[in-house]
Amino acid sequence: MRISVAGGTGAVGRHVVEVALERGHEVVVLARSEGVDLTTGAGVADRLADVDAVVDTTSVATQKRAAAEAFFGGVTRTLLAGESEAGVGHHVALSIVGIDDVDTGYYAGKRLQERTLAEGAVPWSVLRATQFHEFAEQALGFVRIGPFSLVPSMLSQPVAAREVAEALVDLVESGPAGRVPDLAGPEKLQMVDLARRVSRARGLGRRVVPVRMPGAAGGAMRTGALTPASDGPRGRITFDQWLEGS
C-alpha cells in the first residue's frame, strides 16, 4: 500500500513511517520538511497522489481552545478535502484516551478532529491512546523554575510510541473501522513519579514539584480520567523497559 503520514517526523509519526516501511509499504511523509503545510494546504495535493490511506499523527503545542480547534479542525478539513480529490480510501487518526471527560483546550481540539472525521465523506478509523512514555520527560519542561520542574499530578497508563505506531499501521491494513478500542500501556502510574525516574536516569538533576491542576479537569486527571474505562488492547513495553532502552 501507499501510505501518507501526516506529522511523519513527530514522536509517533516517525515510528509509523518505520513500521510501515518494515512491512513493505510505500510511505509519503506530510510535513513542513517535505514542503507540505497542513494548515494552508500547500503541497498536500501532490503528496496524496495514488495514496491508499492517510495516517494523521499531527499535534500542536497549545492549551488554548481556539488555537487547538483551529489547528485540528483545519488540518483535518484540509486532509479530507485532499483525500476526496485524490480518491484516498481510508483516513486513520490518532486521538487521546479520556478527552470526553477532561475539558482542556487541547482536548477540545481533539474532540473537534474526531467530529470532523465522523461528518466527512472519507472512510475513517480513530485510535485513542494514552500518554506515551516520552510524556514524562516532556513534563519536566512544562514549567521550570531554576532546578525545579512543576509536573501535573495525574494518574496515567503510558504506552510506548512504537506500539501506538504498530496499532495505527494495523488499522491501515485492516480497513476503516470507526472508533476502535482504546490503547493503553501495561501499568497505571503517577506522572510525578515517572518524571522523577526520568530525571534520575538521565542525570538531569531536576527537582520535581507536584502540581494539582485546578477545576474539574484537574480533578479528573488526578483520579484517572486519562486512563481507559474499559477493556482493550494493552502495550507490552513497561515504562522501566522503555527508560532502560531509550
How does pLDDT run across 116-152, given as a tens digit for each residue?
999 999 999 999 999 999 999 999 999 999 999 999 9
Q: How many C-beta neighbours within 10 Å does residue 222 have?
A: 18
Specify which residues 3 forms β-bridges with: 27, 53
Three-class SS state of 40: coil
Residue 245 has pLDDT above 90, yes or no: no
Q: Which amino acid is at 167?
A: A
Residue with cell 479520556: 98
Q: How many C-beta neighbours within 10 Å does residue 66 have?
A: 11
Grid coordinates in use for 234? 494493552
Residue 79 has pLDDT above 90, yes or no: yes
Q: pLDDT per residue over 58-70, tens digit each?
A: 999 898 999 999 9
Across 44-104, the runs of DSSP E, i.e. the strands, are 53-56, 91-96
Residue 246 pLDDT level (bands cut at 50, 70, 90): confident
Q: Which domains does the chain have, with CATH numbers?
A: 2-245 (3.40.50.720)
Residue 23: closest CA among 43, 44, 53: 53
Asked whether the beta carbons of 59 and 92 are under 8 A apart, the reply is: no
pTM summary value: 0.95
